[in-house]
Amino acid sequence: MDLKITKYSRQRDIILRILRSTKCHPTADWIYEKVKKEIPNISLGTVYRNLNFLADKGKIRRFSFGGTTAQFDGDLRDHYHIRCDWCKRIEDVPHISTRISCQEIESLTGYRIHSLNLFFSGICPECQRKGEQ
């Protein structure tokens, strides 16, 4: 067995597990801090490469907004997101009654839809409180 492949897939397994265990849609730096506890000699660059690899393979979601640091989500189920314009946190929207129909979009555009990324944005309750002080 190729030792290199084993090493890389172990890194990816750990990164995936960490990402799936949180709901905070973290940055690579956040994940790097956690991975370091299990693989002390791993570099931030390696964590980035693994995250981008997993995102390109469709195993995780990657969010990036013009010029900001990418954030990642290990939850691939259909769900919508909301992002705070101030602190940049990304949260899941619990549920909304209006669901967008991919079939409808497909028939309107002729595309075969692979994924849906709907983002709401605004100011989170915590930042609203800080803004009032």
Token duo for residue 29: 């730096």
Strands 71-73 and 90-92, sheet pairing: unpaired
In the complex, the smallest distance separating the C-beta of residue 15 from Zn ion, rounded to whole angstroms, is 17
In the complex, the smallest distance separating the C-beta of residue 131 from Zn ion, rounded to whole angstroms, is 9
Sequence-ordered alpha helix ranges (H) in the chain? 3-20, 28-38, 44-56, 102-109, 125-132
**Which is closer to Zn ion, CB of 43 or CB of 69?**
69
**Which is closer to Zn ion, CB of 42 or CB of 123?**
123
Question: Residue 76 and residue 78: Cα distance in Å, rounded?
Answer: 6
In the complex, the smallest distance separating the C-beta of residue 10 from Zn ion, rounded to whole angstroms, is 25
Binding site for Zn ion (CB under 5 A): 73, 75, 84, 86-87, 92, 124, 127
Question: Residue 17 and residue 103: Cα distance in Å, rounded?
Answer: 32
Burial code (b: 16+ CB inside 10 Å, e: under 16) for 43-59 equals eeebbeebbeebbeeee
**Which is closer to Zn ion, CB of 14 or CB of 90?**
90
**Which is closer to Zn ion, CB of 2 or CB of 132?**
132
In the complex, the smallest distance separating the C-beta of residue 79 from Zn ion, rounded to whole angstroms, is 5
